[in-house]
Structures are given as C-alpha cells and as structure tokens.
Amino acid sequence: MTSYDDFARTPGGAILMNGSLLRDEIVAGIRAEIDALGNPAVCLATVLVGSDEPSRIYVRAKHKKAAEAGLVSRNIELRETATQGEVEAAVQDLVDDVDVHGILVQLPLPGGLDPEPVIDLIPPEKDVDGLTERSMGRLVRGRPGHVGCTPRGVMALLRRYGVETSGRRAVVIGRSTLVGLPQVLLLGRKGCDTTVTLAHSRTTDLAGVCREADIIVAAAGMARLVTADFVKPGAAVVDVGVSRTESGIVGDVDFAAVQEIAGAITPMPGGTGPMTIASLLENTLDAARLLGAVPA
C-alpha cells in the first residue's frame, strides 16, 4: 500500500488525485480477476445514436479500456434520424440478450428523441450507468445495485488518496441525477459519514458555503467556477465539470490558483474523466455477478 507521503504533489504542495493512474490500477485489477475466473465473456454493450463527436470519442474510449480490462464489448450504432421506436427496439434486444451484462445508452440522444422511455427499459442488473429509477431507488434504500459511474469514481479517488470522510464536511456543487444527487447520497451514507451540503445555481454565497467544506465536489459545468477564495486550506477539491471553451476543455476548478491552497486536488484532464470509465468497467463486472454469469 502506498503511504500518504508517496503521492505526487502539485507545485503548491497539494496531493494530486491522479485519475488516470487509478483507472489503470482498476483496469489491471479487473483483467486479473477475469483471468482468474477463466476468461468468461463479460459483456458491455453501448448504444450510440447520431454523430455527436464528443459522444463518439467517449464511446470509443470506453471500448478501448473495456478491451484492456479483458471485457467483451459491443457498440450498437444508430443513425441521427433513428426513430424513438428504433432506439427502444435496439435497447430491448440488449435487455433480452443473455450474453449482454451491462447496457449503456450514450447521452444526450439527438434532439426529438426522449431518453426517459429508453432508459426505463434497462433492468437494474444491467443498468451500468446507474441511471434508472430502480437503480436510484436502490441507492437511496442502500440495497445492492449500480451506482452512477462518475460519483462512484469520485469516491474511489477520495479513498485511494487517503482523504478522510468520516465526520468531515462536504459540499457538492450541482444536483443532477447523473452526478450531484448520487454524489450527495454516497458521501452521506453510513460508512462514509460525511456531513453534506448540496449547492446549486440558487445557492447564496457559494464561496462562503464552500469555504466551510473539507471536501468540495464541483459538478456544475461552469468553467473555473471554484476559485481560491472558495477553498479552506487543506481541503480536498474534486473537479467533475467539463466546459468546452475557446482555449480548450476547462474544468469547474481554477486549478492553478486552488492547488496552492488545497490539500488534495484532481487534475483536469486526468482526474474524474478516466475514473468514470474505470467505474463503468467495475459496474459491468458487478453486473455479470448480479446476473449470476460469474461467481459473486
């Protein structure tokens, strides 16, 4: 086990919570587990509709890492003009296919398509994105099921880099069902035991609220929203946001300024993005276990 002193640090002295390194550790661990099980065909299926370039890049990255982890993967591609019925039929085929263990529908769908009935088709065992009502319900009830990939990845980063959570205060910025809400539930649940504040666009004095926190998870999608004056000295700062600006992809955290004050910080890129993929692969192996395709 790496000691706290062994972690790489930023120029300002914060521990760098390196998601690419941790993803590689997780991928290698899944590969070893699949090998030890005699190489069962654990299968992740993705559904990609239309030609949105970032979505295509995300899906390609997921398949590349799935292959490295020893998983089998399938990508169902539908054209931009696919009807609601065609998308639902493609997902239903994967639901019915006993050789498919995890299903991920890449969002957003092209305009005119309603994602809700599509997502609703996925049974909780195969819902490796943790997005359906039943998966969210299981998370709330503390029952076994899949947790959204990004919040799961954030929890793994905090654990791996020795960030104390019990009795600490956290602020999650953003209340989406994809990131913010499940993140609040994970941080606040028994065993993690953080006291959590959920902040959003109507929060007054966001900087003051964040300054109270030992852990900040920024998932607002607002470029460099979290500046140095948001951060208590020594706090852990996790950047989830992704904004495409003229100067490239930018996170929610002003990294250069915040790393001078924080005790630990994620880079962007190389923080939560790779961890989202790692968690998807972990969820897929869990799905095969839940479905009885590999031993629990």
Q: What are phi and psi of 254, to 5 degrees?
A: -80, 85
Q: Binding of ligand NAP at residue 181 (CB under 6 A)?
A: no
Give CA–CA dist 76/101, Å, rounded.
15
Q: Does 42 bind ligand NAP (CB under 6 A)?
A: no
- What sign has the CA pseudo-torsion 196, 200, 202, 208? positive
Count of beta carbons in the 10 Å neighbourhood of residue 78: 18
CB 88 within 8 A of CB 139: no
Q: Is 35 a catalytic residue?
A: no
Give the nearest distance from C-beta 39 to ligand NAP in angstroms: 29
Q: Can 62 be counted among the known catalytic residues? A: yes
The closest residue (CB) to ligand NAP is 221
Site for ligand NAP in 217-276 (CB under 6 A): 219-222, 225, 240-243, 272-273, 276
- Identify the residue among 166, 191, 202, 233 touching ligand NAP (CB under 6 A): 202
- Rule CB under 6 A: is residue 174 a binding residue for ligand NAP? yes
Phi/psi for 19 (5° steps) reads -70, -30
Token pair listed for 131: 């997005």
Query: With CB under 6 A as the contact rule, which of the stretches 9-17, 80-88, 172-180, 288-296 interacts with ligand NAP?
Result: 172-180
Q: Which of 65, 106, 127, 259 is catalytic?
A: 106
Token match 């947790």: residue? 147
The 8-class DSSP code of residue 173 comes to: E
Q: Find the binding residues for ligand NAP in span 111-170 (CB under 6 A).
A: 150
Task: Give yes or no: 254 in active site.
Answer: no
Query: What are the DSSP E strand ranges found in 136-186?
Result: 169-173
Smallest distance, Å, CB 216 to ligand NAP?
A: 12
What is the C-alpha to C-alpha distance for residues 268 and 263, in angstroms, rounded to an integer?
16
Query: Least distance (Å) from ligand NAP to the CB of residue 108?
Result: 10
Where are the strands (E) in 200-287, listed by range? Answer: 215-218, 236-239, 243-245, 248-250, 264-265
* Closer by beta carbon to ligand NAP, 62 or else 126: 62
Nearest distance from residue 176's CB to ligand NAP, in Å?
Answer: 3
Catalytic residue ranges: 62, 106, 129
- Interacting residue ranges for ligand NAP, rule: CB under 6 A: 150, 173-176, 178-180, 199-203, 206, 219-222, 225, 240-243, 272-273, 276
